[in-house]
């Protein structure tokens, strides 16, 4: 890192920060006050944009079914159906990328609220100020997720894998699958933290994607388990309280979840005081 980088980034990269889980939850709960109206206004924009995107892209697929698939013959049927699968992959990718960009903007809105800056519903489109690096991150994330899901599906249904499971036996095989699940579970949350910290650095500090990713990677690894534990606990609490409140608690829980991410970012990169 160069000497032009702020001192708080050096502290972050060296692990000189705290992740007090209880204090972060209490702060997030307290900060929900005064944020709900703008946040839910932004979330309404989120829903409308996603609904419009799904409608338009669904119409594209429907038009393909109506006008293209009937042209299938014995010679080109496979090619046309493969083309439809490719089109579906692109459609799902567009929806997932859009969802990622809007979700990242909600986290940035929470960060601004945390700093007592004025917020408004249209901040859900904050990603447009750094759309190129964020679009690249979203695209790479979608391709990575698709690769992992496809590879896992192929592996689980492969003859070799089934033979190995029979060879290991039911107990050892179950333990092996459990260990693989736990590793995948932790890696999923780790990459989630890494991606969101990178995105917030891009939006907040106007850093390049490469610089943000490097700094986020170095900083998160300094307190690997605490950072992951915070997100896991947040997910569990979110799920339990949402079920217990029959969904009504989402009014507070959704903005609180974004605030937890914002506070975590603030603690790591902005010398948070918790």
| Stronger pLDDT, 160 or 249, i.e. the higher one | 249
pLDDT above 90 as % of the chain: 65
> 231 near 192, Cβ under 8 Å?
yes
Q: By three-state DSSP, how is residue 6 classified?
A: coil
pLDDT value at 272 more than 90: no
Report residue 210's pLDDT band, with 50, 70 and 90 as the boundaries.
Answer: very high
Give Cβ neighbours of residue 98 (< 8 Å, ≥ 6 apart): 49, 50, 53
∠ at Cα 183 (180, 188), nearest 5°? 120
2-11, 210-219, 246-255: which has the highest mean pLDDT?
Answer: 210-219
Average pLDDT over residues 197-220: 93
pLDDT tens column, 221-238: 999 999 999 999 999 999
Mean pLDDT in the chain?
89
- CB atoms inside a 10 Å sphere around CB 257: 20
Q: What's the pLDDT score for residue 22?
A: 92
pLDDT tens column, 137-152: 999 999 999 988 888 8
- Per-domain residue ranges of the chain: 7-269
pLDDT value at 2 more than 60: no
Give Cβ neighbours of residue 207 (< 8 Å, ≥ 6 apart): 201, 215
pTM for this structure? 0.87
């Amino acid at each position: 890192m160069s000497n032009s980088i702020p001192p708080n980034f050096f502290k972050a990269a060296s692990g000189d920060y705290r992740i007090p889980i209880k204090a972060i939850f209490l702060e997030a709960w307290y900060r929900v006050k005064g944020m709900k109206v703008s946040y839910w206004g932004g979330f309404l924009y989120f829903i409308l944009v996603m609904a419009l995107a799904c409608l338009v892209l669904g119409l594209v697929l429907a038009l393909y079914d109506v006008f293209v698939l009937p042209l299938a013959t014995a010679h080109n049927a496979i090619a046309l159906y493969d083309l439809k699968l490719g089109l579906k992959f692109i459609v799902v990718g567009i929806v997932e990328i859009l969802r990622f960009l809007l979700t990242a903007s909600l986290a940035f809105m929470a960060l601004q609220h945390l700093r007592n800056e004025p917020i408004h519903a249209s901040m859900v489109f904050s990603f447009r100020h750094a759309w190129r690096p964020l679009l690249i991150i979203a695209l790479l994330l979608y391709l990575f997720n698709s690769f992992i899901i496809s590879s896992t599906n192929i592996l689980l249904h492969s003859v070799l894998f089934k033979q190995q499971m029979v060879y290991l036996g039911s107990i050892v095989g179950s333990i092996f699958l459990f260990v693989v699940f736990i590793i995948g579970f932790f890696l999923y949350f780790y990459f989630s933290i890494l991606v969101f910290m990178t995105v917030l650095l891009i939006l907040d500090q106007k850093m390049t994607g490469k610089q943000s990713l490097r700094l986020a990677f170095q900083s998160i690894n300094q307190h690997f388990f605490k950072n992951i534990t915070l997100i896991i606990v947040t997910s569990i609490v979110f799920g339990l309280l949402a079920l217990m409140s029959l969904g009504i608690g989402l009014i507070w829980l959704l903005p609180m979840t974004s605030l937890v991410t914002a506070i975590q970012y603030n603690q790591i990169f902005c010398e948070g005081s918790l």
